[in-house]
A and B are shown apart, each in its own frame.
Chain A
Amino acid sequence: MEFKSSQILSKLATSDQHAENSPYFDGWKAYDNDPFHPTQNPHGVIQMGLAENQLSFDLIEEWIKKNPVASICTREGVDAFKDIAIFQDYHGLPEFRKAVAKFMGKVRGRRVTFDPDRVVMAGGATGANELIMFCLADPGDAFLVPSPYYPAFDRDLSWRTGVKLLPVACESSNNFQITLQALEEAYKNAQKANIKVKGLIMANPSNPLGTTMDKDTLKSLVTFINEKKIHLVCDEIYAATIFRAPNFISISEIIEEVECNRDLIHIVYSLSKDMGLPGFRVGIVYSYNDTVVNCGRKMSSFGLVSSQTQYLLASMLSDEEFIEMFLKESSKRLGNRHKIFTRGLVEGGIKCLESNAGLFCWMDLRPLLKETTFEGEMELWRVIINDVKLNVSPGSSFHCDEPGWFRVCFANMDDETMQIALRRIRTFVGERKEMDAQVNNKRWKKTLRLSFSSRMYYETSLSPHMIPSISTSSFTTCSCDLNIYLKVII
């Protein structure tokens, strides 16, 4: 039934910038085809590519049960139904904005306060990041972004906006910290290539690193953008996932200490990670620039938060006692989970970048690479997906400059599943090292399939059904419609 639809759609629609045609979505395919379940499918693929915070739902559920009036669908709350259902003002419910501003302040230890009138809604942080780009840059303009970075930035910041991303590589030699030198060089190169740099965007705490920036680094970034007269967008979506020292320092605190043009400073936030509510699509743009607030607010019409959700969260977030308890407890649980997980990795011979935040670890698997190349990284990744049956995210999908680093999520599963994952990893590492020793000095061909069976990685007895059905050579680009690539790295 072709009516030459490929010629009939826009360039945007026919481009690959939605980024889903990458081979990396095969990890998701493997998971979707064979998802782990403790009793029904104990040998399935464990999902470790999904940065979700599932550790503290019980606290929220309890609050909801205790506060039926916060829902407009309960008998207790239905009186508010009509007013809320017709409320589509893009300013948002005043009580929602107030509650969000207060919550943001609390997450930063009340060291700064946020103005509710600067809170602009968007469709999740996905929508917020795109919105701020539309406000700050024209098609063809560029934003510097320290790498490794969240892969969906390629789609969120560039797809419909036409903005270019210029990665500024960070190296493991200094724990992937951004340096002024790297920024200056990237800026200079862009100028030479006649590319107009409009700003710098970064996530702090970092995804995938799980680290926060120290005060000096943040100050130097502010000085840098101020001097170049370019914007600074700080995606602080993981602000409340800090679980140990050093404490989180927000850009909002830095600008109180450093002289700068505040019109250049913008924060992106969301409740998807800190509160574990990605389904509710609560994205926030907080800008210190009045024009951006005004324009952004009008633009938010394209992605407002459901008034039903605004109403519920306004109530929840302004329950100071609950929030105080939640933030403390959530941080504690994340810290515990991180501690147990990293300890388990170390016992298995795997080191991670030292981190203090986030829902993931940045694993150093360079010792396990056959070749210190990205092909080597892909080979290792295929083995981990197909044989170890763990969906982890390879560093190259984060535009990491050095092969061998992998992001592994730890907050989207229960304790038992985590232990199983750790056991599989330990077994795999052991086998891999043994194999290395056996084939000393032998040169491995890239196309040669690793010879040990997947049976090695299972905890229980074997069965013919455990041989994985997906061969490692079948990484063809699939045209089926799955939002799995991006789930690899969300």
Chain B
Amino acid sequence: MAIEIETPSVGLSKVAVSETHGEDSPYFAGWKAYDENPYNEAYNPSGVIQMGLAENQVSFDLLEEYLEKHSEATNWGNTSCCFRENALFQDYHGLKSFRKAMASFMEQIRGGRAKFNPERIVITAGATAANELLTFILADPGDALLIPTPYYPGFDRDLRWRTGVRIVPINCDSSNNFEITPEALEAAYNEAESMNIKVRGVLITNPSNPLGSTIKRSILEEILEFVTRKNIHLISDEIYSGSAFSCTEFVSISEVLEARGYQDAERVHVVYSLSKDLGLPGFRVGTIYSYNDKVVTTARRMSSFTLISSQTQQLLASMLSDVEFTQNYIKNNRERLRKRYEMIVDGLKKAGIKSLKGNAGLFCWMNLSPLLEEPTKENELALWKSILHEVKLNISPGLSCHCSEPGWFRVCFANMSEQTLEVALRRIHDFMNKRECMKTIV
């Protein structure tokens, strides 16, 4: 886990030669297999179906419809001064209209149960940058952030690579649906202490990736109580907040704070992005919302390295300040994701596969541990390989998410058409049937 120290090649930095970027992991073979043989309904119906990519492609038509109706507003139109002002705008505060629109959008996602002040919004090029930036600000090299497992594999790179900060896992398991417990929090903190590592904060993803479920209010309160007691920070990555299947199921840390009059709020920082909820990962739109003035000031200065293109800020300022559009989008997006989720869970059930009860996100957390002869890392890897090469599905193995129990896999369902999802489910069904038959023969 530590950054490897090797003899640098041609005098490069240790960061450059370390493997903390994480791309030498065996799971990249999945991507390679897909790239070399990508599924296409018409041209390559037996190719690899990409189910390892958490992208939201179910609601593009709503965005395209908006753009077609409002091309004047989102473009620079005929006013020449607009283009010029926009192209020159490099102020790290970000466009005021953009920040206002983001604040309003975040409030709508939370059903108005939390208020966001545009002055506390710091812009970054994607949540990738936001998470790294916060880590630079909240922790020194060698310090640690506690993160509940299983977690988004990208954190290994985003939080550790250039910052030199470590991740100590808060182990969660299936016995209680992978919920975070006060005991697990304490255990992680103590583990860090025993290694002489200073813990600077807890980072949660809510809704969770890869679990596809939201964190209960009571657990959020426990986490807040824990970080307050230890006098450390809490980062809440709420990138999937608009992808909860119903508005009321998702409770944001911001609601918990508002309900208690913002007591202890200065240790809390929220990360958000439009990559998942709006399906715009290419636009690199990330934000940090901090309740701590010094963090806001410092993060803003640091965002100089990773600002959002003013062209993109302008487009989104228009789009997201159209309340009629956003309300309609949020509602429909949630509904479509819920339908997709039900479709995949039903399909998996029919194939004899159980999955964790989910209520958010672009993926489902399925349990293939019954297929493992023994619950080992090697067996999970072997199963993953056979799903990749025989079933031709690229799914994400739990071990890549640091899950403490082998046999769990994340399967994405929102980055493809319904037809493709049906094909994938059929393949899974056939695969499971074959294994059943093999069992009875043996």
Q: Which residues of A contact B (CB under 8 A)?
A: 1-6, 8-13, 18, 20, 52, 54, 57-58, 60-61, 64-65, 68, 71-75, 78, 81-82, 84-88, 123-124, 126-127, 130, 134-139, 141, 155-156, 159-160, 198, 229-231, 261, 263-264, 272, 276-281, 289, 291-292, 295, 298-299, 301-309, 312, 481, 483, 486
Contact = CB atoms under 8 A, between A and B. Distances in A.
Nearest to A160: B136
Interface string B109-129: 000000000000000011011
B282 A483 contact: no
B426 to A, nearest CB: 25
Given A1-B266, A78-B71, A308-B315, A64 B309 contact: no
B339 interface: no
B298 interface: yes
A352 B264 CA distance: 56
A141 B12 CA distance: 11
Nearest to B60: A82
A86 B60 CA distance: 10
A307 B86 contact: no
B75 A71 contact: yes
A155 B283 CA distance: 26
Contacts of A141: 13
A458 to B, nearest CB: 28
Top 9 A-B pairs, shortest CB-CB distance: A279-B310, A307-B282, A306-B309, A88-B281, A278-B90, A87-B282, A73-B74, A279-B89, A123-B306
Nearest to B319: A73
A78 B64 contact: yes
B391 to A, nearest CB: 25
Given A127-B305, A308-B309, A5 B266 contact: yes
A227 B10 CA distance: 13
Interface stretch (B236-244, B289-297, B341-349, B357-365): B289-297
B306 A135 contact: no
Contacts of B200: 8, 10
Contacts of B23: 298
B11 A136 contact: yes
- Tell me if B's interface is mostly helix, strand, loop or mixed: helix
A483 B298 CA distance: 11
A276 B309 contact: no
Given A54-B88, A276-B88, A280-B311, A86 B282 contact: yes
B132 interface: yes
Contact of B86 (A139, A279, A483): A279
B91 interface: yes
A10 B136 contact: yes
A291 B10 contact: yes
A160 B302 contact: yes
B15 interface: yes
Given A86-B55, A280-B87, A264 B13 contact: no
B91 A483 contact: yes
A483 B75 contact: no
Contact of B83 (A52, A57, A307): A57
A134 B84 contact: no
Contacts of B60: 81-82, 85
Nearest to B267: A3
A166 B282 CA distance: 38
A10 B138 contact: yes
Contact of A61 (B63, B84, B283, B301): B84
**Most chain A Cβ neighbours within 10 Å, of B13, B76, B78, B89:** B13
A85 B305 contact: no
A230 B87 contact: no
Interface residues of B, number: 85
B307 A124 contact: yes
A378 to B, nearest CB: 24
Given A12-B140, A82-B60, A306-B311, A481 B300 contact: yes
A102 B275 CA distance: 30
B334 interface: no
Contacts of B279: 85-86
Contact of A138 (B14, B76, B125): B14
A309 B312 contact: yes
A6 B294 CA distance: 8
A69 to B, nearest CB: 12
27 contacts: A3-B264, A8-B200, A8-B233, A9-B294, A10-B138, A54-B84, A54-B88, A57-B87, A73-B71, A73-B315, A78-B67, A81-B60, A88-B126, A123-B304, A124-B305, A136-B16, A160-B162, A264-B10, A280-B87, A281-B125, A281-B307, A295-B16, A301-B128, A302-B162, A304-B126, A306-B282, A481-B296
Contact of A9 (B91, B137, B310): B137
A3 B88 contact: no
B431 interface: no
A263 B10 contact: yes
A13 B137 contact: yes
Given A295-B16, A302-B306, A303-B305, A9 B87 contact: no
A306 B284 contact: yes
Contact of B304 (A61, A291, A483): A483
Contacts of B292: 5
Interface in B47-70: 55, 57, 60, 63-64, 67-68
Contacts of A278: 87-90
Contacts of A20: 301
A259 to B, nearest CB: 16
Given A85-B282, A138-B14, A10 B140 contact: yes
A15 B414 CA distance: 44
Contacts of A135: 12-13, 15-16
Given A74-B71, A198-B13, 8 more contacts: A8-B233, A12-B136, A134-B13, A231-B11, A295-B12, A298-B23, A302-B162, A306-B309
Contacts of B21: 295, 298-299
Contacts of B137: 9-10, 12-13
Contacts of A277: 87
Given A136-B11, A277-B87, A289-B10, A127 B283 contact: no
Contacts of B265: 1
A75 B68 contact: yes
A126 B304 contact: yes
Given A3-B267, A280-B87, A280-B310, A138 B13 contact: yes
Contacts of A305: 284, 309
A13 B136 contact: yes
A18 B302 contact: yes
A306 B170 CA distance: 34
Nearest to B74: A73
Contacts of B267: 3, 8
Given A1-B266, A75-B71, A276-B88, A308 B312 contact: yes
Nearest to B301: A18
Interface string B188-212: 0000000000001000000000000
A17 to B, nearest CB: 10
